[in-house]
Amino acid sequence: MSEKIEINTFEELRNLELFELIVKIFNEAQKNGDLTFKEAINFEIIQDKESEIEYEIKIVEGLSKRPNNRASEPGSKEYNISNEKIKDIQKNNPFLKPEPELTIIDSIFNKYRLILNKFPNTKYHFLLVTKEFEKQDSLLKPIELQIIHTILENLNNNKNNKIINNNGEEVKYFSFFNSGPESGYSQFHKHIQFMMLPNNFHIYQEDVIRGVKYFIPKEIIQERRPLLYSNASFKHFILKLKNDSIDEEDKKDSLAILYMYLIKRVLNIFKEYQEDGNGDNKNTQISYNFLMMSDWMMIIPRRSAKFENIWQNSLGFMGLFCVKDEELKDKVLKVGFSKILQECGFPMEKDEKDIVYNEYGY
Ligand code: AMP
């Protein structure tokens, strides 16, 4: 087993040879049967005609083996988590005492761990988890945003140490956080995930932020409202990240301001949704998917964890559809990516860019 690694400064986290470590532990765990992974060979890349978003769809065997350890079932009208329920969750909580064979970093600032996903969607899929139990429905803390971003920078922006796949192409990581009962999560202990994009995969977020300068959002100024990809069928908000922070404190502050602004947008959408007569208890708790890469962050409010029997978490909104079998794959293709994402999220409106939430909002 590998020796324990402890990280106590951002400099250490930035300079660590993280990808080498992930590869080493992944290969070892796979060889010893400590994780369930089989490279999907039957994936398809499809350009959606309506939205021009690129989608990948593939069958991931591990999906049907994933345990479920949630506080409530999606669609439930009650969102009242008793202490009993929380205690119950701890009995099968895989992140409280993670398997040493899957542990990448044993301690980050004494509060977090990096562990491999036991049922990964793709090779080298890993998680940042809190050491102590915290609810998945709690907000991301500024320090967590800073850790996520530093990990992404370590993996994506390291000039001397780019991640190159077997075809000689450069590969990038993105991170995601599913939060709230309708966000599509399966575990209730706080965790943020990191996954590699498929080879040569085009993401629409890059088109959206191209040529845009960093700005702090402000509702009343049109040019300072969050960015969006207007062909998408689902409500979402994208912000460009600051790339010239003067120090760690400055970086942390700007990440926190941007994230809180996106959360405010989600709160307003749920408020409006309830005012429109959809206010059963199910929706008093906000749900959203949060995605981040080195140069942007994005939020997608969620009203439902699934459309019929098609579950979604953050991945669909990144263009990545992982399904458990051929039957579900056929169904996704028949229903269509845009329709599924629109039903799981909130439909994008024609005048979405002009919607302002300051009058009666948060
Ligand atoms: P989510 O479904 O978004 O809540 O993500 C939870 C992730 O945890 C899933 O992708 C699971 O594959 C993963 N997982 C479940 N059990 C374990 C475990 N024992 N160790 C590591 N990862 C796990």
Give residue 2's pLDDT: 61
Looking up tokens 């990808």 gives 19
Report the 10 Å Cβ neighbour count for 255.
24
**Is 51 touching ligand 1 by the criterion CB < 6 Å?**
no
User: Are the beta carbons of 297 and 262 closer than 8 angstroms?
Assistant: yes
Closest listed residue to residue 202, CA positions, set 352, 47, 311: 47
Q: Please give the Cα distance from 328 to 42 (Å, whole number).
A: 14
Rounded to two decimals, what is the model's pTM? 0.95
Looking up tokens 């005012």 gives 275
- 266-324 pLDDT, tens digit per residue, is 999 998 888 877 755 444 689 999 999 999 999 999 999 999 999 999 999 999 999 99
Give residue 45's pLDDT: 96
- 249-264 pLDDT, tens digit per residue, is 999 999 999 999 999 9
Atom of ligand 1 nearest to the CA of 183: 3
Ligand 1 centroid distance, CA of 89 (Å): 14
Count CA atoms within 13 Å of residue 130 on its CB side: 15
- Of the pLDDT bands very low, low, confident and very high (cuts 50, 70, 90), residue 235 is very high
Q: Please give the Cα distance from 106 to 193 (Å, whole number).
A: 16
Atom of ligand 1 nearest to the CA of 115: 21
Q: Please give the Cα distance from 241 to 292 (Å, whole number).
A: 10
- Of the pLDDT bands very low, low, confident and very high (cuts 50, 70, 90), residue 1 is low
The mean pLDDT of 6-26, rounded to a whole number, is: 96
User: Are the beta carbons of 122 and 189 closer than 8 angstroms?
Assistant: no
Q: Which of 187, 190, 288, 300 to mutate to test the pocket of ligand 1 (most atoms within 8 A of CB)?
A: 187
Atom of ligand 1 nearest to the CA of 176: 3
> What are the C-alpha distances in Å from 180 to residues 94, 113, 145, 183?
19, 22, 18, 5
Handedness of CA 131, 135, 138, 139 (dihedral sign): positive
**Is 70 touching ligand 1 by the criterion CB < 6 Å?**
no
DSSP 135: B
In the structure encoding, which two tokens stand for residue 295, read together?
């140069």
Give residue 281's pLDDT: 47
Task: Name every residue whose Cβ is closer than 8 Å to that of residue 306 and which is 6 or more positions away in sequence.
Answer: 74, 184, 312, 344
Element (H, E) at 210: none
Parse the chain into domains and list their residue ranges: 1-34+67-73+80-118+121-201
Q: Which of 114, 119, 178 to mutate to test the pocket of ligand 1 (most atoms within 8 A of CB)?
A: 119
Mean pLDDT of the chain: 92
Q: Which CATH superfamily is domain 1-34+67-73+80-118+121-201 in?
A: ATP adenylyltransferase (3.30.428.70)
Ligand 1 centroid distance, CA of 63 (Å): 10
Ligand 1 centroid distance, CA of 332 (Å): 23
Helices then strands, counting H and E runs in the chain, come out as: 9, 14
**Is 36 touching ligand 1 by the criterion CB < 6 Å?**
no
- 43-64 pLDDT, tens digit per residue, is 899 999 989 999 999 999 888 8
In the structure encoding, which two tokens stand for residue 323, read together?
């399904």
Output the DSSP codes for 217-262: --TTSGGGSPB--TT-SB--EEEEPPS--SSHHHHHHHHHHHHHHH
